[in-house]
Amino acid sequence: MSPPPYVAPVVQSTAVFKDDIFKGKVLFCTGGGSGICRGMTEAVMRHGADAVIVGRKLDRLTQSARELSEKTGQTCIPAQADVRKPEQLQEAVAKTIEKFGKIDFVICGAAGNFMAPVSGLSENAFRTVIEIDTIGTYNTIKATLAYLRKTKGAYIHVSATLHYRGTQYQAHVSAAKAAVDALSVVIAVEEGPHGVRSNVIAPGAIADTEGASRLGNQIDTRGFSSALGRIGQIPDVASATVFLFSDVASFISGQVLVVDGAGENVRTSQLPYPQAVLDPASVSSMVKGKL
Ligand code: COA
């Protein structure tokens, strides 16, 4: 197969946004110990914020916090909590307030995933993912909302695109992420008058993440599953995060920002892609009228 006709550049947010736009701000990020959420945290810190990363594995969190602090020159601390346990989240929030005195931004990113058909999914397996993704997001909102009202802060919830259609072996995650999307809109409407914004970032397949490795060979790493010639990278999602938390997004709330190189739209294509675009004559037998 020939290479993609165009490959979008991967652009770090620091190449576009000033490095002090989040000076004095504090980020609270669940799932921030690794993968996409760690990348989102790093990007926000590179623009001047301090951060608390929350997760279940203290070793990983501690190491990530140290590395994030070293890389960005800001302060990142770990807070161990399972998002399924409200009291643990409240402790993580208390630790944040004790250290930094406030919270400006929250990323609800902790998630669970594995591939399983409904026929092989136990009630406990389904519930486990709903509890981590959906109820974990609810618990995180409940634990942080009062602080975000004080700072007129913002939420970003990390969702997905797989529930926009029936994605096989992803019933549990599809149901969980659809609920997260719905929750975000209600928060946007209810909390807007308090100055709090709420948006969703929906990454497509992102390389070098636990999610990608769990979805295994379903992911086309050659780039043909997006319109922009490559699979998503963590900086794509991180830069979207910086934009949505920044003041230029102050009138954007209740939205879903899909970061997938139009991959979701390509998935709907009835015609071979991108061959049909590059050479319309190749599909003349399938298209009525003159090309
Ligand atoms: N297929 C079917 N069922 C599975 C499964 C699989 N691949 N993996 C786990 N389950 C089931 C378990 O069998 C169990 O159900 P059972 O009690 O009926 O047997 C249920 O899911 C809970 O599993 P358990 O391992 O006890 O839960 P946990 O809380 O320790 O782990 C998970 C949660 C399962 C979501 C685990 O994958 C995880 O910790 N993920 C976090 C990281 C992650 O997924 N990141 C990617 C985000 S996109």
Task: Tell whether 191 is covered by a domain.
Answer: yes
C-alpha distance across the termini of the chain, in Å = 25
Task: Tell whether 272 is covered by a domain.
Answer: no
Q: 121: CA distance to ligand 1 center in Å?
A: 10
pLDDT of 58:
98
Q: How large is the average pLDDT for residues 227-239?
A: 96
Task: Tell whether 271 is covered by a domain.
Answer: no
Instruction: Name the least confident of 150-154, 205-209, 239-243.
Output: 205-209
Residue 200: domain span: 13-260
> Residues 25, 174, 177, 226: which is the catalytic one?
177
pLDDT over 60 at 236, yes or no: yes
For residue range 150-199, what is the model confidence (pLDDT) as tens digits?
999 999 999 999 999 999 999 999 999 999 999 999 999 999 999 999 99
Confidence of residue 218 (pLDDT cuts 50, 70, 90): low
**Angle (CA) 113 199 235, round 5°:** 65
Q: 147: CA distance to ligand 1 center in Å?
A: 32
Q: Nearest 10 degrees: CA dihedral of 155, 231, 11, 72? A: 60
pLDDT of 271:
78
pLDDT over 80 at 230, yes or no: yes
pLDDT over 80 at 215, yes or no: no
Confidence of residue 282 (pLDDT cuts 50, 70, 90): confident
CA–CA gap between residue 61 and residue 54 (Å, rounded): 7
Q: 170: CA distance to ligand 1 center in Å?
A: 13
Residues framing ligand 1 (Cβ under 6 A): 111-114, 116, 120-122, 124-125, 128-129, 132, 210-211, 214
**Angle (CA) 119 124 127, round 5°:** 100
pLDDT over 90 at 275, yes or no: no
CA–CA gap between residue 253 and residue 78 (Å, rounded): 28
Mean pLDDT for all residues in the chain: 94
Active site residue 159: yes
User: Would you say 196 and 148 are in contact if contact means Cβ atoms under 8 Å apart?
Assistant: yes
CA–CA gap between residue 77 and residue 49 (Å, rounded): 12
Task: Tell whether 283 is covered by a domain.
Answer: no
User: Would you say 48 and 72 are in contact if contact means Cβ atoms under 8 Å apart?
Assistant: no
pLDDT of 222:
60
Active site residue 64: no
Among 197-201, 208-212, 222-226, name the most confident range: 197-201
> Residues 159, 184, 225, 226: which is the catalytic one?
159
Domain count, the chain: 1
pLDDT over 70 at 122, yes or no: yes
Confidence of residue 1 (pLDDT cuts 50, 70, 90): low
Task: Tell whether 280 is covered by a domain.
Answer: no
For residue range 26-55, what is the model confidence (pLDDT) as tens digits?
999 999 999 999 999 999 999 999 999 999
Q: 124: CA distance to ligand 1 center in Å?
A: 9
Task: Tell whether 268 is covered by a domain.
Answer: no
pLDDT of 200:
99
* CATH number of the domain to which 93 belongs: 3.40.50.720
Q: What percent of the chain has pLDDT over 90?
A: 82
Q: Quick one: which atom of ligand 1 is closest to the CA of 114? A: 7
Task: Tell whether 277 is covered by a domain.
Answer: no
Task: Tell whether 279 is covered by a domain.
Answer: no
For residue range 76-90, what is the model confidence (pLDDT) as tens digits?
999 999 999 999 999
CA–CA gap between residue 28 and residue 93 (Å, rounded): 8
Q: What's the Rg (C-alpha) of the chain?
A: 20
Q: Quick one: which atom of ligand 1 is closest to the CA of 113? A: 44
